[in-house]
């Protein structure tokens, strides 16, 4: 079976066998001057395609964040210029890294309001699928949302919480919350469901699938429920969790997760496609897409 995949970035994986970094925090220079015209061209292709697809699909905060950043189709953004604007707005910076970095390094950056962004850009033959987060996913997908104060605080809280969750041995639970919010979250806005998750916003196929396809479930976000729910790193999500406003993330940034971890620890986990009686279901999916794949049929 070799059906084309969507383009998730496999964030759930630990950083691979990358060579030892020169700097302890794994940052590198972006080396903006060294991007080739072909690399800027890949950015342009992706930027134009996603900008079209996100009309009426991205949440208002994504659109306004994007509009106020020095980011357009013409070239891969310069992290220094992005950081100037972000710093004024929410106190965040963008720093360059080679790709996935170890969890503790990742959390340490987020806890200090530095967003580690892949320096490289995918190759022309990988437009729709790549294994590690590149500059398009990280910058196009995540950085506009970092202009929003609620997301800005929430991602910092994730960094702080990540260091703690590691010590408690519950990082997998916290990572699910990040996955189903920052990466694959949907938000209910006045004209319907909208995308705020960067994994969706940076993916052509998933930005349509997540909102328009009959296959996935769309369920009201619930913290304990999400902590118990496995996710897919190599294909579209089977279930998307919906918040009513980005301000909900602010509440999540402020509460202590410890009692939730404790409750969840001796409870069974849910598979990605499961819908529970207790769920507030917005859309009950047909499950058709993933069922087809399980049978080895083309999607
Ligand atoms: N590194 N560059 C980068 N980007 C990520 O999103 C990332 C990472 N390392 C670890 C990681 N994510 C996740 O596994 C944690 O959020 C759990
Ligand atoms: Fe990401």
pLDDT tens, residue by residue, 66-105: 999 999 999 999 999 999 999 999 999 999 999 999 999 9
100 C-alpha to ligand 1 centroid (Å): 6
Best mutation site among 9, 94, 103 for ligand 1, i.e. most ligand atoms within 8 A of its Cβ?
Answer: 103
Whether the pLDDT of residue 225 is over 90: the answer is yes
How do 93-97 and 192-195 pair as beta strands?
unpaired
Task: Tell whether ligand 1 has an atom less than 6 A from the beta carbon of residue 176.
Answer: no
Q: Give residue 129's pLDDT.
A: 78
pLDDT band at 19 (very low <50, low <70, confident <90, very high): low
What lies within 8 Å, CB to CB, of 167 at 6+ separation is: none
Task: Tell whether ligand 1 has an atom less than 6 A from the beta carbon of residue 120.
Answer: no
Q: What residue owns the CA closest to ligand 1's atom 4?
A: 100
DSSP state of 113: T
What is the percent of the chain where pLDDT is above 90? 88
Whether the pLDDT of residue 238 is over 80: the answer is yes
Mean pLDDT of the chain: 93
Domain ranges of the chain: 32-294
Whether the full predicted model's pTM is greater than 0.75, yes or no, is: yes
CATH number of the domain at 32-294, please?
A: 1.10.800.10
Whether the pLDDT of residue 190 is over 60: the answer is yes
106 C-alpha to ligand 1 centroid (Å): 6
Atom of ligand 1 nearest to the CA of 15: 9
Whether the pLDDT of residue 159 is over 50: the answer is yes
- Provide the residue count of the chain: 299
Q: Residues 253-293: pLDDT tens digits?
A: 999 999 999 999 989 999 999 999 999 999 999 999 999 98
Whether the pLDDT of residue 16 is over 70: the answer is no
Which of 200, 192, 185, 55 minimizes the C-alpha distance to 140? 200
How do 192-195 and 186-189 pair as beta strands?
antiparallel
Q: Residues 123-150: pLDDT tens digits?
A: 999 998 788 999 999 999 999 999 999 9
List beta partners, residue 220.
242
Whether the pLDDT of residue 14 is over 90: the answer is no
State the average pLDDT over residues 146-174: 96
Task: Tell whether ligand 1 has an atom less than 6 A from the beta carbon of residue 97.
Answer: yes
Whether the pLDDT of residue 216 is over 90: the answer is yes
Whether the pLDDT of residue 9 is over 60: the answer is no
């Amino acid at each position: 079976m070799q059906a084309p995949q969507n383009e998730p970035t496999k964030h759930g994986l630990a950083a691979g066998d990358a060579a030892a970094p020169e700097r302890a925090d794994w940052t590198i220079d972006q080396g903006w001057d060294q991007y080739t015209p072909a690399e800027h061209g890949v950015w342009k292709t992706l930027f134009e395609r996603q900008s079209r697809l996100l009309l009426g699909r991205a949440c208002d905060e994504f659109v306004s964040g994007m509009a106020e950043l020095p980011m357009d189709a013409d070239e891969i953004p310069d992290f220094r210029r992005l950081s100037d604007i972000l710093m004024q707005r929410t106190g965040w910076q963008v720093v360059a890294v080679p790709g996935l970095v170890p969890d503790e390094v990742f959390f340490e950056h987020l806890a200090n309001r530095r967003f580690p962004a892949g320096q490289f850009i995918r190759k022309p033959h990988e437009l729709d699928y790549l294994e590690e987060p590149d500059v398009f996913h990280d910058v196009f997908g995540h950085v506009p949302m970092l202009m929003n104060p609620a997301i800005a605080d929430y991602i910092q809280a994730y960094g702080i919480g990540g260091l703690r969750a590691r010590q408690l041995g519950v990082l997998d639970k916290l990572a699910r919350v990040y996955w189903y919010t920052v990466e694959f979250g949907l938000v209910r806005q006045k004209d319907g469901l909208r995308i705020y998750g960067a994994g969706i916003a940076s993916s052509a196929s998933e930005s349509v699938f997540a909102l328009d396809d009959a296959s996935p479930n769309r369920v009201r976000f619930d913290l304990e429920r999400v902590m118990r729910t496995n996710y897919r790193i190599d294909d579209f999500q089977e279930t998307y969790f919906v918040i009513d406003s980005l301000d909900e993330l602010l509440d999540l940034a402020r509460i202590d997760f410890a009692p939730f971890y404790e409750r969840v620890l001796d409870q069974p986990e849910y598979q990605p496609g499961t819908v529970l009686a207790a769920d507030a279901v917005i859309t009950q999916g047909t499950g058709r897409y993933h069922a087809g794949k399980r049978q080895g049929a083309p999607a």
